[in-house]
Structure 1
Amino acid sequence: MPKNIAPKLMGSRTFIAAQPYAADDPSNEFSFEIGERFIEANNPEASPDDAWVLVYRPSAPAISKYVPVDKLREEKPVSSKYRQPKTLSSTISNSPSTQVSAANAELVSVISTAPATKEVKVPAHSSVQRGGPPLSTVSEDAGSRLSDAASSGVAFGGTLASTFKAILEKHEAYFENVAKKREESFAKINSSIGEASAELVRCRERNTAIREQIAELDNMIAAERTRWRQLAGDRPDL
């Protein structure tokens, strides 16, 4: 078997492992499983009828070894008729000049959206000669857009502030109403407690008067019994 030859990264064929293979000489042969991919290395001693081919793995192009051709399947390149043709638009869009123009357009867009710090006066005929609108009109349009954006931002900020103020006023009115109802409830409770206390005092006074009346009745009954006993001659059975 030929000895290992350092590959050049310009293999002419690509192979896919159709069958697994265990190397008999791992120093010069690759072991592989089905589906592994190899790329043919540049081997001046190779012949199309050789039973072995010098290859390397795409993940390690610096290491090349031999593999049996009968265990591999050559991956044919796709025919040109199936390749996606390049359209004129894709060719133009991928060209360096188009990319530079796109970069310039992006730069112009960034500059145009930035706030102007200093007005530069340029003769109007220079832009008119190129077929574009006068620079004065462009600057006026840009200023108009900036003023519209500023006014819309101010309007939005004013609307937000007024909405926030309305919410605060609504909450303040709600809490004032709750506090008022709370005070009214406490006043009613205090009034009820005062009325109950007064009623309790009146009940105590009535109880005292009733007790006094009962005591007077007891005294009257005792006096009447004594009088009847005296009239009866102190008879104990009376």
Structure 2
Amino acid sequence: MILYSIFSHNISKMLEDVISQSTINKFDSTQEKWKKTEVFYTKVKGLTYMSITNNKIHKRQIEFLQNEIAKREEKMELLKKQKDELSIRNYRFQKIIEYLEKKINKLKSREENYKRINSISNPTERIQALTDYSNQIYKKLQNKAKKFSFPKISKQINLDTKNTLVLNKNGTYFYYPDDVDTFYQNARLLFLSFLNEPQRNDSQKISELLYQFDFNEDEIATIIQKYHSNL
């Protein structure tokens, strides 16, 4: 009986030792696995943080580059606009310079002719030279005037002042009877809207035209009435 008790006790102790060692081994193994898992997740966490940080840095870099590109494009647009303005300004200046040079050459030529005429000692010859020069200038003006021709008459409006207002298809006007000089002087005052805006009726066009010459509303109404009566 005593032997059995001792044997049982030893067996129990051995089993306890085996179980304890097995438990310790399992615990150690589990702890080792947790350590490896913790190291793994720490690495993953670190890589994730690095990735997020890099993405933020790249995003900031991209935004910075986009802003720089936008600024450069804006600057290029401004420089292009300034270049166009300078080109237009230079073109205008060039035309002004050409115009002034032409005027200066004409004045020099005229001055030389005057000096030449004034240098003639004989009064009769001087007057003849001045007359010839005047005829030469008048001939040039006549040649320029020939470039213009009387346009085909569109309408004639008889006014109470016994004058006739002649409206032409090219937008010019003159009072008849009238001389050529006054016609060309009046031809500069064009009322192009009279014929160049077909979407508006003649009454509106004539009304706007006559307002420019200080006609009152009653006079305009009378003229328009006479205009339509001549259609």
Taking structure 1 as the reference length, the TM-score comes to 0.41
| Larger Rg over CA atoms | 1
The higher relative CO (CA closer than 8 Å, separation ≥ 6) is in 1
